[in-house]
């Protein structure tokens, strides 16, 4: 965090949660590689948070999608429909994970 961002953040909020809720919030913050306060601010402001695992899955699906797209080009007339159907499923999976 830059010094200018630190100067802007002068208000302290205190909330009460049960120990189990605290543990769950800490785990979710860790899952998205954020501190608990940063995670809570992002959630409270409606910002998207993605787990590191989701990022890896999305990147792998994109890689597979690119390979599938190359197969579609290579076998243009033969099995084109099947290749396109698989490619569309990969794109749909990326969108589902991205919205999670």
Render pLDDT for 69-82 as a digit per residue (tens, 0 to 9).
887 777 765 666 77
Round to whole Å and give the CA distance between 33 and 39: 9
> Residue 24: how many CA atoms within 13 Å on its side-chain side?
5
14 and 36 co-located in one domain: yes
Cα 95 from Cα 90, distance rounded (Å):
9
Question: Looking at the structure, do residues 57 and 95 belong to the same domain, yes or no?
Answer: yes
- CB-side neighbour CA atoms (13 Å) of 30: 6
Judged by DSSP in three states, 34 sits in coil
Q: What is the DSSP letter of 9?
A: -
Asked whether residue 27 falls in the same domain as residue 63, the answer is no
Residues 59 and 30 occupy one common structural domain: no
pLDDT at 100 over 80: no
In which domain, by residue range, is 15 found? 3-44
**pLDDT above 90 (res 67):** no
Give the rounded percent of residues in the chain with a pLDDT score beyond 90. Answer: 26
Q: What is d(CA 98, CA 100) in angstroms, rounded to the nearest whole number? A: 6
Mean pLDDT of 27-36: 88
* CA separation for the pair 9, 56 (Å, rounded): 32
In this structure, are 33 and 59 located in the same domain?
Answer: no
């Amino acid at each position: 965090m830059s010094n200018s961002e630190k100067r802007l953040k002068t208000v302290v909020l205190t909330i009460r949660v049960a120990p189990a809720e605290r543990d769950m919030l800490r785990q979710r913050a860790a899952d998205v590689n954020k501190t608990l306060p940063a995670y809570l601010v992002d959630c409270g402001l409606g910002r998207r948070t993605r787990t590191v695992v989701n990022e890896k899955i999305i990147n792998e699906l994109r890689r597979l999608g690119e390979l599938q797209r190359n197969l579609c080009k290579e076998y243009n007339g033969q099995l084109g429909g099947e290749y396109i159907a698989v490619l569309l499923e990969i794109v749909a999976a990326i969108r589902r994970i991205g919205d999670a």
